[in-house]
Amino acid sequence: MAPDPTPAPATPTSTPPTLTALTAYLLSRTGKAARGRLAARLAEEDLRLWHMAVLAALADFGPHAQRALAERLSIDPSDMVKVLDDLTAAGHVTRTRDPADRRRVRVTATPAGRAALAAQVGRAQEVQAELLAPLSPAERATLHALLLRVFTPLTARQGPPLD
Partner DNA sequence: GAAATTCATGGGTGCGGACCTATTATTGGT
Partner DNA sequence: ACCAATAATAGGTCCGCACCCATGAATTTC
Is residue 20 within the footprint of a second copy (CB under 8 A)? yes
One-letter amino acid for residue 7 of the chain = P
Tell me: does residue 144 bind a second copy (CB under 8 A): yes
Least distance from C-beta 123 to a second copy, angstroms? 10
Helix (H, G, I), strand (E, B) or coil at 112: helix
**Min CB(55)–a second copy separation in Å:** 8
Q: Which helix (H) or strand (E) holds 108?
A: strand 105-109
Contact call for residue 39 and DNA (CB under 7 A) = yes
133 binds a second copy (CB under 8 A): yes
Best CA proximity match to 104, nearest among 67, 151, 139, 72: 67
Burial 22-44 (b: 16+ CB within 10 A, else e): eeeeeeeeeeeebeebbeebbee
Tell me, residue by residue from 52 to 81, as one string, x for binding to DNA by CB under 7 A and - for no binding: -------------xxx--x----xxxxx-x
Report the interface residues with DNA, using CB under 7 A.
Answer: 2, 32, 39, 43, 48-50, 65-67, 70, 75-79, 81-82, 84-85, 95, 101-105
